[in-house]
Chain A
Amino acid sequence: MNFKDILTQAQHGSEQAIAEVMARYKSLLLKESVCRGLFDEDLYQELCIILLNCIRNFRI
């Protein structure tokens, strides 16, 4: 399945598709959650929320 289909499904609320996008971007989120050399769990959570918002708001 290509990314466009996944994203479309995720925008229509398919939890499986959202999970797939989350899985694909997890490493990026983890990388961005490191602050002063330490993994910041609160920051990771905030960034996950941002990802969910982005999935919803992105115009294909």
Chain B
Amino acid sequence: MGQHNNDQKESFSLQNRFTAYLLIALKRKKRDYLQKKSRIETYEFTTDPLSVQFAGSPDNRMSPAVSQIEDDALMQALAQLTARERYILFQRVLYGSEYDDLAADLNSRYGSIATAYHRTIKKLRKKLQGGRK
């Protein structure tokens, strides 16, 4: 019986070691995979940004306004922003939301929302000027 117990204990500890080993490998792979994916998302954009980028966005209210945009350069610049940046931008520009409301909405602080908004505007300007050369 004692022997059997020891065997079982050893097997469990082996399984624990294997699980720990596997978990580390999984975490690394996942990190690499996500990094690669986000890199691809940053540098490449789909030919139809509307269908992909905005379909899954948390706020679908922005869609009608966005579909009115006919400027391709602006469309591409918008597609390159992150979902959070786009959300802040649209809420601020199209619906005139206050930073305070947005901060509460996104679980963030006034300052970081304001900074994010101004950076987004700056980014858009830079991209649009770059495209106009």
Contacts and interface: CB of A to CB of B under 8 A. Distances in A.
B1 to A, nearest CB: 16
Contact of A46 (B8, B15, B33): B33
B18 A47 contact: no
B15 to A, nearest CB: 4
Contacts of A50: 22, 25-26, 29
B8 A47 contact: no
B14 interface: yes
B22 A54 contact: yes
Contacts of B43: none
Contacts of A53: 25
Query: What does DSSP make chain B's interface, helix, strand, loop or mixed?
Result: helix
B11 interface: yes
A7 interface: yes
Contacts of B7: 2
Q: How large is the interface on B (under 10, 10 to 19, 20 to 34, 35 or more residues)?
A: 10 to 19
Contact of B11 (A2, A28, A54): A2
A27 B19 CA distance: 12
B95 interface: no
A42 to B, nearest CB: 8
Interface in B13-34: 14-15, 18-19, 21-23, 25-27, 29-30, 33-34
A29 B19 CA distance: 11
Contact of A60 (B14, B23, B27): B14
Contacts of A43: 30, 33
A54 B25 contact: yes
Interface of B: 7-8, 10-12, 14-15, 18-19, 21-23, 25-27, 29-30, 33-34
**Closest 8 pairs between A and B when the two form their complex, measured CB to CB:** A2-B11, A3-B15, A54-B22, A4-B11, A3-B11, A50-B29, A50-B25, A4-B14
